[in-house]
């Protein structure tokens, strides 16, 4: 695959062969910046999904991958990571054109993280501690055999980074995988699969099928009894459907879903840190990040001054062609999503909110063909408003004031979501107190979006189910087995 303007044909990878849809249908993938046709993509059917599961099942039951030592698998995964590094520019260009993510973010953050995901889990398998429990003439220990076939369903907002967040641990622990990337961003999934095969990954260990979540291809991936694990990142509504389908076969699911995370700024915060971090927390990634700090809670003693500075910085952000290195925000993913974001801004004003900056679709010459929406800051709402409670998944920040620590925590926890939180303060005691009481899977203090892959990642409430990362990925992608032996005297 190349990054030329000629549309490419995207097919399913099933075993070691590339297939069109079983009924011959396709769908288009277009550049959200200008509508350029990037690819015609195989539109998967139930037969395609079932065939991919068969290939993964065969590779697991009869192939070499699960029987390899962790060191042997790690050698191949590191070779794939090296190949990703070699193709970093190509993969970054594909990611940017397919999803509208800025080239700076693709090139310097997300594609490097793809390689890091692979290397981390390649190393982790051999370094993870194992348990042994001697008790007199009894010796008990724990084995971690691979679970089997993994269905991995990844989103469009960080396509390859989040796909490999699932693929890397699944493969490292000896499983085989069927990946269904989001239909909006299919390009890098297929190029990655090509690279992985070229680097030595055995046939059938990684399979890729394309299609829409509500259509036939997704059915087998969530309800086929030959699937042993399902790992999903996406909306809370889609996650519910997946959980319902998986329940029929008691298939374990790890689901990272939506977020409406609070970002709390106290009056003792270092504003030279809090303002730029808060800008990044909501407007980075075009605002299409489940971890975004989309509820900005500012202590009333500094609220007006903070809003003025925050809005001024937001208005300065460069919104434009994501292929330009100086662009901070690119386009939203598609027209339907743009309409959703704009609809919430209209709703906010109906609810009594005041738009401080932004608030209208960008339609000038540089933006005319794309799905562009500016950084938008809204004040005057309470935490009870729909705009402040529902996930917008766009560059829209609602600002709410508070007076006390307890009030801030009450507002932060007054949400059905519980994915993440941000806190800016120089009071270390306060930081620890609040982190302990915050109903969120991740709490960042005086920073944002920094990750150690050994930590658990996931959400509470409707933000998700389960945790992945480090030992938590091992527990999910393996089937822990207790062994007890009586020693002869």
Q: Across the strands, what pairs with 141?
A: 132, 483
Helices (H), 22-87: 46-62, 70-86
Spell out the residues 6+ positions from residue 94 whose beta carbon is closer than 8 angstroms to its own. Answer: 1, 3, 187, 188, 191
- Please check whether residue 341 is in contact with residue 347, taking contact to mean a CB–CB distance below 8 angstroms: no
Beta strand pairing status for 138-143 and 132-135? Answer: antiparallel
Three-class DSSP labels, 148-214? CEEEEECCCCCHHHHHHHHHHHHHHCCCEEEEECCCCCCHHHHHHHHHHHHCCCCCCCEEECCCCCC
- Cα-based distances in Å from 485 to 134, 145, 266: 10, 18, 57
* Coil vs helix vs strand at 421: strand
- Please check whether residue 349 is in contact with residue 360, taking contact to mean a CB–CB distance below 8 angstroms: no
Q: How far is CA 11 from the centre of its chain?
A: 23
- What is the predicted pLDDT for the residue at 215? 66
Active site residue 290: yes
Reported as type and span, the H/E element at residue 298 is strand 295-299
Active site residue 360: no
Query: Out of 95, 256, 397, 468, which one is annotated catalytic?
Result: 256
- Please check whether residue 310 is in contact with residue 275, taking contact to mean a CB–CB distance below 8 angstroms: yes
- What is the predicted pLDDT for the residue at 1? 41
Nearest to 19 by CA among 279, 238, 220, 208: 208
- Work out the number of other CB atoms within 10 angstroms of the CB of residue 284: 23
Residues of the chain with pLDDT under 50: 1-3
Cα-trace Rg, the chain: 23
- Cα-based distances in Å from 427 to 44, 265, 424, 434, 445: 53, 12, 9, 11, 11
How far apart are the C-alpha atoms of 168 and 6, rounded to whole Å? 31
Place of tokens 């109903």: 439
- What is the predicted pLDDT for the residue at 2? 42
Spell out the residues 6+ positions from residue 281 whose beta carbon is closer than 8 angstroms to its own. Answer: 263, 291, 292, 293, 422, 448, 449
Query: Out of 110, 290, 351, 468, which one is annotated catalytic?
Result: 290
- What is the predicted pLDDT for the residue at 272? 98
- Please check whether residue 402 is in contact with residue 408, taking contact to mean a CB–CB distance below 8 angstroms: yes
Spell out the residues 6+ positions from residue 282 whose beta carbon is closer than 8 angstroms to its own. Answer: 263, 292, 293, 294, 296, 375, 395, 396, 397
Task: Report residue 68: phi and psi, to 5°.
Answer: -65, 155
Tell me which DSSP letter residue 286 carries: G
How far apart are the C-alpha atoms of 413 and 9, rounded to whole Å? 46
Sign for the CA dihedral angle at 390, 396, 402, 407 comes to: positive
């Amino acid at each position: 695959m190349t990054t030329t303007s000629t549309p490419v044909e995207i097919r399913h990878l099933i075993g070691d062969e590339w297939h069109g849809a079983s009924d011959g249908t396709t769908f288009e993938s277009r550049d959200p910046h200008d509508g350029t046709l990037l690819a015609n993509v195989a539109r998967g059917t139930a037969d395609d999904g079932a065939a991919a599961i068969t290939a993964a099942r065969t590779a697991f039951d009869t192939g070499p991958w699960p029987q390899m030592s962790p060191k042997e698998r790690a050698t191949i995964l590191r070779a794939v990571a090296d190949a990703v590094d070699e193709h970093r520019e190509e993969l970054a260009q594909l990611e940017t054109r397919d999803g509208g993510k800025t080239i700076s973010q693709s090139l310097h953050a997300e594609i490097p993280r793809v390689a890091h995901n692979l290397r981390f889990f390649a190393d982790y398998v051999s370094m993870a501690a194992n348990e042994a429990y001697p008790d007199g003439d009894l010796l008990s220990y724990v084995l971690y055999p691979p679970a089997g076939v993994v269905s991995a369903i990844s989103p469009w907002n960080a396509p390859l980074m989040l796909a490999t967040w699932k693929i890397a641990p699944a493969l490292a622990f000896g499983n085989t995988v069927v990946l269904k990337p989001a239909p909006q961003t299919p390009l890098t999934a297929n190029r990655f699969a090509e690279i992985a095969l070229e680097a030595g990954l055995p046939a059938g260990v990684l399979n890729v099928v394309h299609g829409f979540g509500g259509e036939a291809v997704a059915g087998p991936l969530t309800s086929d009894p030959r699937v042993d694990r399902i790992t999903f990142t996406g909306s809370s509504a889609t996650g519910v459907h997946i959980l319902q389908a998986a329940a029929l076969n008691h298939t374990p699911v790890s689901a990272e879903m939506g977020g409406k995370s609070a970002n709390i700024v106290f009056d003792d915060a270092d504003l030279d840190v809090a303002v730029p971090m808060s800008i990044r927390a909501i407007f980075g990634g075009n605002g299409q990040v489940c971890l975004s700090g989309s509820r900005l809670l500012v202590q009333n003693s500094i609220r007006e001054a903070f809003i003025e500075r925050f809005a001024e910085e937001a208005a300065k952000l460069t919104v434009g062609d994501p292929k330009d290195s100086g662009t901070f925000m690119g386009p939203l993913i598609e027209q339907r999503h743009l309409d959703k974001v704009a609809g919430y801004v209209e709703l906010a004003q109906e609810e009594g909110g005041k738009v401080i900056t932004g608030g209208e679709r960008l339609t000038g010459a540089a933006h005319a063909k794309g799905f562009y929406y500016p950084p938008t800051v809204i004040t005057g709402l309470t935490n009870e408003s729909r705009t402040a409670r529902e996930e917008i998944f766009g560059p829209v920040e609602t600002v709410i004031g508070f007076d006390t620590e307890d009030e801030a925590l009450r507002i932060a926890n007054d949400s059905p979501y519980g994915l993440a939180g941000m806190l800016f303060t120089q009071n270390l005691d306060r930081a620890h107190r609040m982190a302990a009481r915050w109903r969120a899977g991740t709490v960042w203090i005086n920073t944002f979006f920094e990750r150690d892959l050994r930590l658990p990642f996931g959400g509470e409430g409707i933000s998700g189910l389960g945790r992945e990362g480090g030992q938590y990925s091992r527990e999910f992608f393996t089937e822990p087995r207790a062994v007890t032996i009586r020693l002869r005297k």
